[in-house]
């Protein structure tokens, strides 16, 4: 039976939110907030809706007419700007040394994180992340269902089923509260807050 450990990426393996680095990579040095006027000027809407609109706005601005290959390349060129969280990275390396497969399940774009992991030469077997929509192999600036909260579990289970894998999730690492569904996949659960690693016990 395959043994797996699953890790969130942003604010779990690295201190930063990597998505802002992706947007900056394609949009240049201009501060990101200066692109928000078209969104902020809209009708008054809830904080959750406007957060999603802002994210989609940046996806469209930065990734429309790009390719997944360029997104992967952006990850390669961003990797060394990120700050690994040492205790989590050490745990990942220890698990790999014990023969446990390392999987990352992230809300960030899958190809972007694959580029980062490739550059850093981390022993990651799989990256499951948000998939970007394409028209004839060209990104159209839209995203599919974001790989977060329950969708992380759905994507993991779909992959396991499609490849008919027999596995056990030994450990899981993520943020609270958004990664609780993913943490529940594992025997041992841990959460990361401000760079500190702690056991998670869901009462």
- pLDDT tens, residue by residue, 37-49: 565 555 555 555 5
Q: Give the per-residue pLDDT at 180.
A: 97
Q: Give the per-residue pLDDT at 38.
A: 61
Q: Domain range holding 92?
A: 2-20+76-199
Under 8 Å between Cβ of 11 and 192: yes
Is there a domain that residue 32 lies in?
no
Is there a domain that residue 69 lies in?
no
Q: Reply yes or no on whether the pLDDT at 90 is more than 80.
A: yes
Q: What is the mean pLDDT of the chain?
A: 91
Number of domains making up the chain? 1
Is there a domain that residue 168 lies in?
yes
Q: What angle do CA 157, 91, 162 make, to 5 degrees?
A: 15
- Return the SS3 of 106: strand
Is there a domain that residue 84 lies in?
yes
Here the CATH number for the domain that contains residue 185 is 3.40.50.1000
pTM: 0.91
**Position 162 confidence tier, pLDDT thresholds 50, 70, 90:** very high
Is there a domain that residue 49 lies in?
no
Q: Reply yes or no on whether the pLDDT at 128 is more than 90.
A: yes
Is there a domain that residue 31 lies in?
no
Q: Reply yes or no on whether the pLDDT at 150 is more than 90.
A: yes
Is there a domain that residue 70 lies in?
no
Query: CA 169 to CA 119: how far, in whole Å?
Result: 26
What's the longest Cα–Cα distance across the chain?
54
Q: Which residue has the tokens 């089923």?
A: 161
Is there a domain that residue 161 lies in?
yes
Q: Give the per-residue pLDDT at 55.
A: 85
């Amino acid at each position: 039976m395959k043994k797996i450990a699953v890790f969130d990426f942003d604010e779990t393996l690295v201190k930063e939110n990597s998505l802002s680095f992706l947007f900056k990579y394609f949009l240049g040095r201009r501060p990101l907030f200066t692109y928000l006027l078209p969104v902020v000027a809209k009708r008054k809407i809830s904080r959750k809706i406007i957060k999603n609109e802002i994210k989609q706005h940046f996806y469209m601005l930065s990734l429309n007419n790009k390719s997944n290959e360029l997104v992967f390349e952006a990850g390669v060129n961003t990797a060394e700007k990120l700050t690994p969280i040492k205790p989590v990275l050490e745990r990942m390396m220890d698990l790999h040394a014990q023969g446990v497969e390392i999987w990352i399940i992230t809300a960030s774009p899958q190809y972007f994180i694959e580029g980062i992991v490739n550059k850093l030469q981390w022993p990651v077997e799989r990256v499951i992340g948000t998939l970007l929509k394409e028209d004839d192999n060209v990104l159209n600036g839209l995203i599919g269902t974001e790989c977060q909260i329950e969708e992380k579990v759905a994507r993991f289970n779909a992959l396991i089923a499609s490849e008919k894998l027999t596995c056990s999730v030994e450990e899981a690492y993520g943020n609270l509260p958004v990664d609780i569904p993913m943490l529940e996949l594992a025997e041992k659960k841990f959460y990361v807050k401000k760079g500190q690693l702690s056991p998670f016990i869901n009462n």
